[in-house]
A and B are shown apart, each in its own frame.
Chain A
Amino acid sequence: MTTRTYEVRTIEILLVEDNPADVRLTREAFKEGRINNRLAVARDGVEALDYLQRRGQFAGATRPDMILLDLNLPRKDGREVLAEIKVDAQLCGIPVVVLSTSQNEEDVKSSYDLHANCYISKPVDLDQFINVVHSIERFWLEVAQLPPSGGA
């Protein structure tokens, strides 16, 4: 067993998801991870952008280290949210993992064209869903380097 040093800071994650069951499962899977993390939830696309741009009730919001983004969202679609994040000089460096039930090839392609960092199809099966969330947690929090905290 090799030892690794992990960052001590808490990783801030913004989950943009309107389905309460998916929110709960994702929260539980991240709680079991080895890296300290805090999950904030936005329930629709408008709320997600308000949070990221610290508008209104989100004036004190923490800048997330990464974003998990569903595509089919109320009020403002996830595709629009993704496009707005990736053209915003202040936000574009935050990794966005698209996590969607859509298997549509066009959604996959257009997400990458809009500079999603990766696209993951949400499995319908519960155990598989939890496994996928664990994989995201392990890869992005333990293997990849996230942008340093507070960076633009």
Chain B
Amino acid sequence: MSVEPINILLVEDNPGDVRLTVEALREGKVHNQLSVARDGVEALAFLRQEGQFAESPRPDVILLDLNLPKKDGREVLAEIKADERLRRIPVVVLTTSKAEEDILRSYALHANCYVTKPVDLEQFITVVRSIEDFWFSIVRLPNR
């Protein structure tokens, strides 16, 4: 296991959800470093290290909301998974949408997994911790 922190890119526009995710991960067992992109355009610029993101770290995992300003999460997902340099990075879709269409489409676009964001605060934190436990402790991530 690498001692380097796990780099996470959270793509989320809701400040409350960002804050809760940051807190849930801060208390986690695995040392991690979280970056936040507030919309789809920013997320792709971060991943491609464009402009102000020239020095951005390559994330080990991406947590992606679907409903985002400027560029939709579904488009962001499609672009990541069509990009040879990015497609290897696991993308966990984390969204309030329970629509079957969104679930089916996300998996068809090669999302690595789809998790529904609970409305309840405690449950939301539990879900973030479950993602952390599974993806950072059980799963073997690429490039680590």
Chain A: residues with CB nearer than 8 A to chain B?
2, 4, 86, 92-95, 108-109, 112-113, 115, 117-121, 132, 135-136, 138-140, 143-148, 151-152
Contacts and interface: CB of A to CB of B under 8 A. Distances in A.
A109 B142 contact: yes
Contacts of A146: 103
Interface string B73-106: 0000000010000011110000000101001100
7 contacts: A112-B87, A112-B142, A135-B133, A139-B134, A144-B115, A147-B104, A148-B103
Given A92-B108, A93-B104, A108-B142, A143 B115 contact: yes
Contacts of B138: 120, 132, 135-136, 139
Nearest to A103: B140
A143 B90 contact: no
A25 B1 CA distance: 25
Contacts of A120: 138-140
Contacts of B127: 143
Contact of A112 (B90, B107, B122, B123): B90
Given A143-B134, A148-B100, A113 B139 contact: no
B130 A143 contact: yes
Nearest to A151: B104
A94 B130 CA distance: 21
B52 interface: no
Nearest to B87: A113
Contacts of B38: none
Nearest to B84: A113
A146 B143 CA distance: 26
B6 to A, nearest CB: 14
Interface of B: 81, 87-90, 98, 100, 103-104, 107-108, 110, 112-116, 120, 122-123, 126-127, 130-131, 133-135, 138-143
Given A119-B140, A145-B115, A2 B104 contact: no
Contacts of A145: 98, 103, 114-116
A82 to B, nearest CB: 12
A143 B87 CA distance: 23
A145 B111 CA distance: 12
Contacts of B130: 138-139, 143
B135 A112 contact: no
B114 A144 contact: yes
A93 B108 contact: yes
Given A92-B107, A120-B140, A138-B134, 12 more contacts: A92-B108, A109-B143, A112-B90, A115-B110, A119-B139, A120-B138, A120-B139, A132-B138, A140-B113, A143-B130, A145-B114, A148-B104
